[in-house]
Amino acid sequence: MSDALIELHEITKVFGTGHTAVHAVRQVSMSVGRGEIVLISGPSGSGKTTLLSMIGGLLRPTSGRIVLDGVDITAAPRAAMPAIRAAKIGFVFQAFNLMSSLTAEQNVLFPTTLVRGERAHKKARTIALLDKLGLAQRRHHPPHKLSGGEKQRVAIARALVNDPPLILADEPTGNLDSASGQQVMMILHDIARDEGRTIVVVTHDPRVEDVADRILWLEDGRLRDRKAETHEWVRDPVCGMRVDAWTATEFLERGGVRHVFCSRRCLERFETATTDNGAARPE
């Protein structure tokens, strides 16, 4: 992209050495533009959170380069990273990560202590953000007096308070009911569209796909662009359930035909049926 905020060049992350080494991320390259919403999905253990942690400068790659807003954060001294993160990145977590002893307003204000600026301005921005997110009447409440949706909106305000160009969200709807999750995603959507911020979301929630500009699939440490590649819906030959053949993890080649299944259980039942009868019948 001509106006990329994030550029990843052959990023690899290996945990451990020798025969115990685990390749969590394998040679991932991508660019994310300003104002773009990118969804990274994939099965559990595929390396999504590891990748997000490297983009956020919380974890250094084993090899490769990450350039954020013109700064090579993989080459930056470790001592410089807290200031870079405070200025460039806002984090939104599944578990909210609010400090229980602080009010909503104090939680939002906390990241401002990491950057220079007038306290009066920081206070005014905090109040304005909480008001914008419908929390004006809740700003003096501690987290235990807030609903899940309210806690996540406080977390979003905290992520925005230092005016960063990048928001990283790790399963932001994971602990929310359907209505609250939808509200959080629309808030993130509006932030990207109205304020030109880049948002990278790691999630299993299929509803997020509706607001994403790109859907990337990470599996076995490798990244693919789901919208750029051809995929199709097929029927599980055992239960008849509709399955996305592009992301399916259970499949079997039999007689030159690729059969796709919704689960290991259906695959095993198919194998048993075809062994006994030569064909499988949907239930």
pLDDT tens digits, one per residue of 43-95: 888 899 999 999 999 999 999 999 999 999 999 999 999 999 999 999 999 99
- The CATH number that applies at residue 200 is 3.40.50.300
* Residue 283 CB neighbours (<10 A): 9
CA nearest to 112, candidates 124, 103, 101, 100: 124
Predicted local confidence at residue 227, as pLDDT: 59
Low-confidence winner among 60-64, 103-107, 116-120, 159-163 (lowest mean pLDDT)? 116-120
Domain containing residue 247 = 233-277
Same domain for 214 and 237, yes or no, is no
Predicted local confidence at residue 133, as pLDDT: 94
Predicted local confidence at residue 230, as pLDDT: 52
Same domain for 240 and 151, yes or no, is no
Same domain for 240 and 207, yes or no, is no
Low-confidence winner among 161-170, 237-246, 273-282 (lowest mean pLDDT)? 273-282
Structural domain count, the chain: 2
245, part of any domain: yes
Same domain for 215 and 268, yes or no, is no
What region, left, alpha or beta, does residue 119 occupy, with left being phi > 0 and alpha being psi -120 to 50 degrees? alpha
- Give the integer Cα–Cα distance in Å for 184 and 13: 31
Predicted local confidence at residue 282, as pLDDT: 47
135, part of any domain: yes
Residues in the chain: 283
Same domain for 187 and 255, yes or no, is no
113, part of any domain: yes
Domain boundary among 197, 225, 253: 225
Domain boundary among 225, 247, 267: 225
Q: What percent of the chain lies above the pLDDT cut of 90?
A: 58
Across all residues in the chain, what is the average pLDDT?
Answer: 88
282, part of any domain: no
pTM listed for this prediction: 0.79
Same domain for 75 and 148, yes or no, is yes
